[in-house]
């Protein structure tokens, strides 16, 4: 436009409104039960011979351990300590690593799974392999997630609307906080534990879940605001990434 003798203007960054912020979906116990029941019904598929064994463990692990999807996808056989029930998460967000203890129930599922899928597998192999020993793609995981969601009767709002796979991680955090509040635990002592367990880079990422928990479970809002008034106000945005 300058070459034509006309004034040119560059629209400032952020001038146009961004997409409406996504509100995480916190799965109810009934939704979790129905979803996992559908993963258990996953049948053998010649194109992906281990799919029926992978899916029930993969999605339970994401919820039960509050993992990011990429952390579960890229787990190696050597990262899963079946003797002690511990996951070794290497080079995750911002290249951080951490140890994630599993419940006894999940550890048993992983042992049963490993006996069938990895009886003689090298430790560098992927714990949840796709064809050719490669890790599952996010597209493959998402395709299966949507199928189980539909079969479980959990409505989906369309692309970008959710529920999302990452919401299992949000649900894990909220359920932990809800349980601790109901048990009368000191959250100022327990929040650092949750921060380390989930691999958060800052305390603000973890404190975000206090507001989310209070919003989802109104019955504990008064207890949260009464005991932790300085932690709850002003928490905005999503806690962390979606993959």
What is the block-wise mean pLDDT of the chain (243 residues), using blocks of 10 residues? 42 45 89 98 87 98 97 97 96 81 98 95 94 92 96 87 92 93 87 91 82 78 66 51 51
Locate 218 and state its tokens: 């109104």
Which entry of 68, 164, 178, 211 is annotated as an active-site residue? Answer: 68
Q: Can 156 be counted among the known catalytic residues? A: no
pTM (two decimals)? 0.84
**Whole-number pLDDT of residue 140:** 94
Does residue 241 fall inside a structural domain? no
Which entry of 52, 93, 98, 156 is annotated as an active-site residue? Answer: 93
Same domain, 178 and 72: no
Does residue 142 fall inside a structural domain? yes
CA 14 from centroid of its chain's CA atoms? 29
Same domain, 73 and 136: yes
Same domain, 144 and 34: yes
The count of domains in the chain is 2
Using the 3D structure, point to which of 117, 151, 185 is the last residue of a domain: 151
Q: Can 142 be counted among the known catalytic residues? A: no
Same domain, 34 and 133: yes
**Whole-number pLDDT of residue 228:** 63
Using the 3D structure, point to which of 124, 151, 178 is the last residue of a domain: 151
Q: What is the DSSP string of the chain?
A: -GGGT----PPPTT-SPPPPPPPPP---HHHHHHHHHHHHTPPPBTTBTTHHHHHHHHHHHHHHHT--HHHHHT-BGGGEETTTTEEEE-S-GGG--EEEEPPHHHHHHHHHHHHHH-SS--TTSBSSB-GGGPBPPHHHHHHHHHHHHHHTT----STTTS--TTHHHHHHHHHHHHHHHHTT--HHHHHHHHHHHHT-SSHHHHHHHHHHHHHH-GGGHHHHHHH-TTTSTT--S-SS---
Same domain, 82 and 185: no
Does residue 38 fall inside a structural domain? yes
Same domain, 125 and 60: yes
Which entry of 166, 170, 175, 178 is annotated as an active-site residue? Answer: 166
Q: Can 93 be counted among the known catalytic residues? A: yes
Structural domain boundaries, residue 181: 167-227
Does residue 6 fall inside a structural domain? no
Same domain, 145 and 174: no
Does residue 64 fall inside a structural domain? yes
């Amino acid at each position: 436009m300058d070459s034509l003798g006309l004034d040119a203007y560059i629209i400032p960054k952020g001038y146009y409104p961004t997409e409406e912020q996504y509100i995480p979906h916190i799965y109810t116990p009934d939704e979790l039960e129905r979803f996992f029941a559908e993963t258990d019904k996953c049948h053998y598929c010649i194109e992906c011979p281990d799919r029926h064994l992978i899916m029930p463990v993969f999605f339970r692990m994401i919820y039960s351990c509050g993992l990011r999807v990429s952390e579960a996808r890229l787990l190696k056989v050597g990262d899963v300590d079946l003797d002690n029930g511990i996951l070794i998460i290497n080079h995750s967000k911002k290249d951080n690593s951490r140890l994630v203890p599993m419940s006894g129930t999940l550890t048993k599922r992983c042992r049963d799974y490993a006996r069938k899928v990895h009886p003689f597998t090298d430790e560098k192999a992927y714990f949840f392999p796709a064809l050719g020993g490669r890790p599952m793609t996010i597209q493959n995981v998402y395709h299966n997630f949507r199928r189980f969601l539909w079969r479980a009767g959990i409505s989906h709002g369309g692309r970008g609307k959710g529920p999302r796979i990452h919401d299992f991680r949000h649900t894990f955090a909220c359920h932990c906080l809800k349980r601790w509040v109901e048990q009368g635990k000191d959250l100022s002592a327990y929040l650092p534990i949750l921060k380390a367990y989930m691999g958060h880079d800052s305390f603000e990422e973890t404190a975000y879940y206090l507001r989310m928990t209070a919003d989802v479970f109104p019955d504990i809002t008064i207890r949260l605001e009464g005991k932790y008034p300085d932690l709850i106000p002003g928490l905005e945005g999503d806690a962390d990434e979606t993959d």
